[in-house]
Amino acid sequence: MDTIKNELQMNSFDRVLDKLCLTPIGLAGLILLLILPFIPPFNQEYILRWLIYCGFIAAMSVGFDFTAGYINIVNFGYMAVAGTGGYTSALLVINAGLSPWIAMVAGGVSSAILGLVIGMISLRLRGIFAACLSWFFGLAVMGLAVKMVWLTRGPLGLRVPRLFETESNFPFYFLIIILVYLTYLICKWVVRSKMGLAFQAIGQNMDAARTSGIDPVFYRVFNFTMSCAIAGVLGGFYAHFYGILTPDMMHTSKTVEVLAVAYIGGRGSLWGGAVVAFPFIFLMEIVRSTLSNLPGLNLVIYALVLILVMIYYPGGFSYFYDTHIRQPKNRALRYFLNGRDV
Amino acid sequence: MSKNYMSHILPWLKTAPGMSIAISIVVAVAATIDAGPYLLVNMVVTGGMLALVATGLTLMLGVLNIPMFAHGEYFMIGSLIAYYIFTPISEFILEHPESWLVTFGPFIAIIGALVGGAIAGAISEKLVFGPLRRRSTDNWVMNSFLLTVGLSVLLINLHQLIFGADFKGIVGYWQGMPISIADVYVSKDRVMAFIISAVIVALFYLFMTYTRTGMAIRAVSQDITGAEIVGIDIEKIVLLTIALACALAGVAGGSLLFMYPSYPTVGLEPLYMAWFVVILSGLGNILGAVTGAFIVALLKVITMEYVGAGWDFVVPSALIMFILIFKPSGIFGSDVRGVLDK
């Protein structure tokens, strides 16, 4: 009854927002991101390039959190899966002459198949064992990319045609913002449905979930397949944006980057990683480029932030937001932060 | 008598440990006959090094439930310390070729690596793991895993920041002609590295089995509350365990400086290999880890010989994944896993 009442109380704007899984502040943030490249310091090409990288990490961290935050399995080979999608897409464009847009989807499909395989073989494993299995899988895939020189040109890297035939980074920026939002939206829709509940049940206690009639096989494999498909499409974007693809992209340290952002953002929130990625990765890029005589300093800061967050605030940014910012006294402000609920 | 003996052997051969050990011995012998005895020597030297790193890793996992991702960085610290101790010693040797340091200088460097690894481990317990343990032990395995990921990135980049990214290596520890074993010329350094690792693993095994402190460590690994009740000082044991585990990695790094020059990411390869060993052989079992180290070393050496260099991540990790499908708790692991499942 309550939910029906709430539906009736909502006006159409709120209803649309709710369908789009946004709060008013979320909408404001999205609009800010969309007009950002027209505001002076951000309209330079090299800053836009950093922002695109931020967007890529943001979208990856959403897809990563879909597995890590819900069914509680860290997919430690996530970047290798994305790299598979990137390579598939790039090779299809180069060798079969497909349009990059269709190839990106094909990359997503190939990564989904990889995710299906990882999901299937890790079914009997839990926790850290499943994480290690996906890690070994990632190492094996990266080793293949390095050694199959006849196909991937190995460490020399593939030259990949770009998605848009311009030198400008503007269209890429808007595309990645749309991809970030779409990734979030799809994951959120799935998580909001009955499936999300099943995911959380499996993540918290698999035996209890099985006792209450949830089939872990289907949900775990589905979750892996979906998050890997997302990674594959994003990997295709990465390949067709940078125009060069090396096996370095699949390295564990890249997965660590995504993982750090996802956890600093807050596990199990989906939006936390996406929100944190923009300021955080952007600052890291500034540190990296301004203090280039101190190589590695940005990663030192990076690691320190990860360590401090893990020790003192394991809930991450989303937990902080929920406990300290979300419930202000002012009603208008509360509407702005939460949207119309209950 | 012999029949009785056989009746014990046959059932053992049907168990997973028996089968895998028997298969590896057969494979090792067949490969040695086919390709020459140098393969066996390579396997023994690599296996000895891996055993050192993997016992440290299995100690961390078994006693403290920390899936250590930063273990390779203590290997790196050990090799760095050994380099900075041995460089002045080798200059001294050049001027005074008759000095006692010609024989004992390398030992000073390796012992320095051991002590340095122990100190680094103790410091990281005080600064990183201790605070996390005191704050919360919810979801301990995953949180501490991410913490070690951060620690790994931090140590790698601190090395790069302070000491630079270039290779800091030595020509060799002990001069003189290589020793000939079964028509294979093995450099003195390799022989000594194997002897050192064998002695240390044996001492470590005796320490864990027969001394009171070793028993206390094993007690903590079985039941932390029970150990506290009988009057074991948990904090001290935890500190000691981490220091020991890191010292093992450090001494491996120090004694292998002639093969692996010190540079920021030198620890990644031993880390991957040690994780292969630990996941393959199951957790918290020192003898299992030593056996597993030789099996993984055999896999690596055979892959290098018959498939080619660079495939040594692909083939072993594929095989280990295959084994994990059938035996999720590892070859020597028991089926009871408890806390690490989470």
Choose among A133, A142, A256: nearest Cβ to B321. A133
Q: Which of A172, A180, A182 is nearest to A241 (CA)?
A: A172
What mean pLDDT comes out for the span B299-316? 79
Enumerate the domain spans of chain B: 18-341
Contacts of A129 in chain B (CB under 8 A): 279, 324, 328, 340-341
The pLDDT of residue A154 is above 50? yes
Residue for token pair 């990465």: A238
The pLDDT of residue B284 is above 80? no
Q: Is A10 on the interface with B (CB under 8 A)?
A: no
Architecture of the domain defined by B18-341: Orthogonal Bundle (1.10)
What's chain B's average pLDDT? 81
pLDDT of the residue at A9:
62
Q: How far apart are CA B22 and CA B34, in angstroms?
A: 18
Contacts of B64 in chain A (CB under 8 A): none
Q: How far apart are CA B217 and CA A141, in angstroms?
A: 38
DSSP classification of residue B179: E
Distances (CA, A) of B86 to A81, A176, B255: 43, 52, 11
The pLDDT of residue B341 is above 50? no
Choose among B154, B157, B275: nearest Cβ to A132. B275
- Best of A129, A134, A146 to disrupt the B interface (most B CBs within 10 Å) is A129
**pLDDT single digits (tens) B75-102:** 999 999 988 888 888 888 778 777 777 7
- Asked if B149 and A256 come within 8 Å (Cβ–Cβ), the reply is yes
What mean pLDDT comes out for the span A324-328? 75
The pLDDT of residue A313 is above 60? yes
- Best of A136, A261, A284 to disrupt the B interface (most B CBs within 10 Å) is A136
Length of chain A measured in residues:
342
| Tokens matching residue B11 | 């059932």
Choose among A136, A263, A295: nearest Cβ to B320. A136
Distances (CA, A) of B341 to A117, A342, B141, B332: 21, 37, 9, 17
Contacts of B125 in chain A (CB under 8 A): none
Q: How many CB pairs under 8 A join A and B?
A: 128
Question: Which of these ranges, A27-41, A42-56, B13-27, B216-230, has the smallest mean pLDDT?
Answer: B13-27
Contacts of A310 in chain B (CB under 8 A): 132, 143, 146-147, 150
The pLDDT of residue B119 is above 90? yes
Question: Do A145 and A259 meet the contact criterion of CB atoms below 8 Å apart?
Answer: no
What's chain A's average pLDDT? 83
Q: How far apart are CA A70 and CA A270, in angstroms?
A: 10
What mean pLDDT comes out for the span A44-65? 88
Contacts of A312 in chain B (CB under 8 A): 131, 135
Nearest chain B Cα distance for residue A115, angstroms? 15
pLDDT of the residue at B123:
92
Where does A2-338 sit in CATH, by number?
1.10.3470
What mean pLDDT comes out for the span B58-63? 83
Choose among B143, B157, B275: nearest Cβ to A296. B157
B129 versus B284: which is more confidently predicted? Answer: B129
Question: Do B61 and B68 meet the contact criterion of CB atoms below 8 Å apart?
Answer: yes
Choose among A127, A139, A310: nearest Cβ to B313. A139
ipTM: 0.82
- Best of A132, A135, A313 to disrupt the B interface (most B CBs within 10 Å) is A132
Tell me the Ramachandran region of residue A127: left when phi exceeds 0, alpha when psi lies from -120 to 50, beta otherwise.
Answer: left
